[in-house]
C-alpha cells in the first residue's frame, strides 16, 4: 500500500456521488436470485461490490460487468439441478459474508467462505445458533474466515437480537421467501440500524417479494415466493456523500450530485446532524450543498442508526465550538478496524481533543488543526477518507499511510478529491 502527502487547500466544485454500496449489494443479490435477465445501472466496482458479484457467480448467476452497469441472468431457475462444493471469497466485505451465508443454503452442496483482513473477527454467532437448532453442519476457525457450511435451511420462527448487525436480519429476509415453508423473524432486543433493513425491504419489494413488517418487532414472510427479473438503477450513496457534506461544514464549497433527498438510507441522517451544528443544507433537484454561515456548534449524536458516517462526523465535531458526545457506537470497534480507537488516535495527532470511551467518544472542539504529521488509515477506507477531508483545515500538510484502501468502497475518491482542488503527492515516508 502507498502513502499520500496532502497539502491544505480549499475544496470547491461538484462531485457526482458514487452509487450506494448498500443498495448495489441488495440489487445484485435480488437480481441474481431471479429466474431471468436483469440490468443493474449505476454500478461502481468497489472491492465490496466485486465481492458480492463474484459470490453470486459462485452460486450460479451469470453476471457480465460493463462500464457502469451489470447484466445478470439469475441463478435460481437451476437451483435444484446444481450441486457444488463452492468457495465464496468475501474479501473484506461484511455485507457479502452475512448476506450470503443463509442464501448459500438455498443451493445444494457445501459452501466455504473465505476472506481477509478483520473479516474473520466479525461475529457470526447469530447464524451458528440457527445452524445448531436446524442441524446444519458448519465448521470455522477463530479470528480467521474459513467457514464451511452444508445443509438445508428450513422455514419457521427465527429469534434474532436487534442490537447486533442488521446484516443478519437482511440475510434471512433475502433467503426465507424462497423456502417452501412460511417463516417469522422475531426481534428480541432493541432494534439498531433499522434503516438498513428498510433498504433491504425496499429493494426486495422492487423485485416482487412481499414481507410484512410489524413495527420492527416481527417480520412475517410467506414461503414459495419468487424474485421477479427487472431493470434497476442504484441511487447515490449518502455514506460517501457525507465526506463532502462534512467538508462543506468545515469551510469548503462542494456540490454533491446524485443524492436523493427522499432516500431511505440511514446515512441521510448526516443532513439533520449537520443542521444541528449550524450548517445550512441547500437542495436543488438531486444536488445538495452544505453552507456554514455561523461558527460550528457542538451537539449530541446517537450513532446507533448511522455508524458509517461517525468517523467523518468526528472530524466536524473536532472543529466545532463546545463539547460533542457521540454515543452508542461500540459496534465501530469491529469494522475494518477499531474505528473508535483509530479516529481518536489519528485526529488527536493533528491537534484534535478526543476522549475515547468503550461505547462512545467525547470531542472538545478546537479552532484549527495543525497537521505536519504522518497519520495512518489503519487500512480502513472510511478512516482514509476522513483524514483527507480534514486535511483541508490543517495548517500544514499531512501524510496518510495506506491511503489506497479507499478502493474498498470508493475507488475514485482521490481522483474526485483532486478535481475539486485537493493537492496530493505520492510520498515515501522517511525517504
- The pLDDT assigned to 292 comes to 87
- The pLDDT assigned to 430 comes to 53
- The pLDDT assigned to 431 comes to 45
Residue 419 domain flag = yes
CB–CB of 353/364 below 8 Å? Answer: yes
CB–CB of 252/12 below 8 Å? Answer: yes
Residue 356 domain flag = yes
Residue 401 domain flag = yes
- The pLDDT assigned to 429 comes to 58
Residue 47 domain flag = yes
CB–CB of 72/59 below 8 Å? Answer: no
112: which strand partners? Answer: 87, 148
CB–CB of 430/420 below 8 Å? Answer: no
Same domain, 267 and 281: yes
Rounded distance between C-alpha atoms, residue 108 and residue 113, angstroms? 15
Same domain, 215 and 316: no
Residue 229 domain flag = no
Same domain, 14 and 25: no
Same domain, 246 and 217: no
85: which strand partners? Answer: 110
Q: How many independent structural domains does the chain possess?
A: 2
Of the candidates 44, 48, 237, 308, the residue annotated as catalytic is 308
Residue ending a domain, among 222, 251, 275, is 222
Residues with Cβ within 8 Å of 430's Cβ and at least 6 positions away in sequence, in order, are none
Same domain, 104 and 246: no
CB–CB of 234/16 below 8 Å? Answer: no
Residue 228 domain flag = no
Enumerate the H helices of 256-331 as residue ranges: 269-276, 310-317
- The pLDDT assigned to 81 comes to 43
Same domain, 216 and 349: no
- The pLDDT assigned to 174 comes to 98
69: which strand partners? Answer: 41
Same domain, 110 and 155: yes
Residue ending a domain, among 222, 255, 271, is 222
Q: How many CB atoms lie within 10 A of CB 403?
A: 28
Instruction: Identify whether 308 is a catalytic site residue.
Output: yes
- The pLDDT assigned to 77 comes to 58
Residue ending a domain, among 195, 222, 249, is 222
- The pLDDT assigned to 17 comes to 97
Which parts of the chain sit beneath pLDDT 50? Answer: 80-81, 431
Same domain, 53 and 8: no
Q: What is the pLDDT of residues 235-281, one digit of tens each?
A: 999 999 999 999 999 999 999 999 999 999 999 999 999 999 999 99
Tell if the pTM clears 0.85, that is, is over it.
yes
Residue 227 domain flag = no
Residue 231 domain flag = no
Rounded distance between C-alpha atoms, residue 134 and residue 103, angstroms? 15
Phi and psi at residue 339, to the nearest 5° = -70, -30
Residue with the three cell numbers 444541528: 276
Same domain, 213 and 247: no
Rounded distance between C-alpha atoms, residue 289 and residue 255, angstroms? 5
The CATH number covering residue 402 comes to 3.65.10.10
- The pLDDT assigned to 166 comes to 92
Rounded distance between C-alpha atoms, residue 70 and residue 11, angstroms? 33
Residue 206's domain comprises: 21-222
Same domain, 290 and 396: yes
Provide the edge-to-edge strand list for the sheet that holds 231-233: 62-65, 69-73, 37-41, 231-233
Q: What is the pLDDT of residues 83-99, one digit of tens each?
A: 578 999 999 999 999 99
Amino acid at each position: 500500500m502507498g502513502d499520500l502527502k496532502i497539502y491544505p487547500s480549499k475544496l470547491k466544485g461538484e462531485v457526482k456521488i458514487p452509487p450506494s454500496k448498500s443498495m448495489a449489494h441488495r440489487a445484485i443479490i435480488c437480481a441474481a436470485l431471479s429466474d431471468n435477465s436483469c440490468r443493474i445501472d449505476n454500478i461502481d466496482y468497489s472491492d465490496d461490490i466485486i465481492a458480492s458479484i463474484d459470490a453470486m457467480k459462485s452460486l450460479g448467476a451469470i453476471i457480465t460487468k460493463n462500464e457502469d452497469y451489470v447484466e445478470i441472468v439469475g441463478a435460481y431457475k437451476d437451483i435444484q439441478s446444481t450441486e457444488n462444493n463452492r468457495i465464496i471469497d468475501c474479501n473484506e466485505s461484511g455485507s457479502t459474508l452475512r448476506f450470503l451465508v443463509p442464501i448459500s443454503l438455498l443451493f445444494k452442496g457445501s459452501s466455504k467462505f473465505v476472506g481477509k483482513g478483520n473479516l474473520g473477527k466479525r461475529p457470526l454467532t447469530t447464524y451458528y445458533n440457527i445452524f445448531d437448532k436446524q442441524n446444519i453442519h458448519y465448521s470455522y476457525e477463530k479470528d480467521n474466515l474459513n467457514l464451511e457450511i452444508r445443509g438445508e435451511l428450513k422455514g419457521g420462527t427465527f429469534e434474532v437480537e436487534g442490537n447486533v448487525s442488521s446484516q443478519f436480519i437482511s440475510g434471512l429476509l433475502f433467503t426465507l421467501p424462497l423456502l417452501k415453508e412460511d417463516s417469522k423473524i422475531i426481534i428480541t432486543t432493541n432494534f439498531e440500524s433499522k434503516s438498513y433493513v428498510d433498504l433491504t425491504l425496499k429493494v426486495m419489494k422492487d423485485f416482487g417479494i412481499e414481507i410484512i413488517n410489524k413495527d420492527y418487532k416481527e417480520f412475517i414472510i410467506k414461503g414459495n415466493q419468487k424474485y421477479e427479473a427487472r431493470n434497476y438503477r442504484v441511487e447515490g450513496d449518502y455514506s460517501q456523500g457525507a465526506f463532502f457534506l462534512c467538508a462543506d461544514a468545515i469551510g469548503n464549497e462542494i456540490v454533491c450530485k446524485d443524492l436523493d433527498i427522499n432516500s431511505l438510507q440511514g446515512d441521510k441522517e448526516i443532513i439533520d446532524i449537520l443542521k444541528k451544528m449550524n450548517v445550512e443544507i441547500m437542495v436543488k433537484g438531486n444536488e445538495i450543498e452544505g453552507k456554514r454561515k455561523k461558527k460550528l456548534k457542538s451537539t449530541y449524536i446517537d450513532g446507533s442508526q448511522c455508524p458509517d458516517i461517525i468517523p467523518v462526523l468526528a472530524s466536524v465535531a473536532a472543529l466545532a465550538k463546545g463539547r460533542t458526545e457521540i454515543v452508542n457506537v461500540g459496534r465501530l470497534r469491529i469494522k475494518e478496524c477499531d474505528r473508535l480507537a483509530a479516529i481518536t488516535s489519528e485526529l488527536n495527532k493533528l491537534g484534535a481533543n478526543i476522549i475515547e470511551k468503550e461505547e462512545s467518544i467525547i470531542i472538545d472542539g478546537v479552532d484549527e488543526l495543525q497537521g505536519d504529521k504522518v497519520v495512518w488509515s489503519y487500512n480502513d477506507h472510511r478512516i482514509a477518507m476522513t483524514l483527507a477531508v480534514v486535511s483541508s483545515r490543517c495548517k500544514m500538510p499531512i501524510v496518510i499511510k495506506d491511503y489506497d484502501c479507499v478502493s474498498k468502497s470508493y475507488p475514485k475518491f482521490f481522483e474526485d478529491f483532486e478535481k475539486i482542488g485537493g493537492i496530493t503527492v505520492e510520498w515515501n515516508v522517511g525517504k
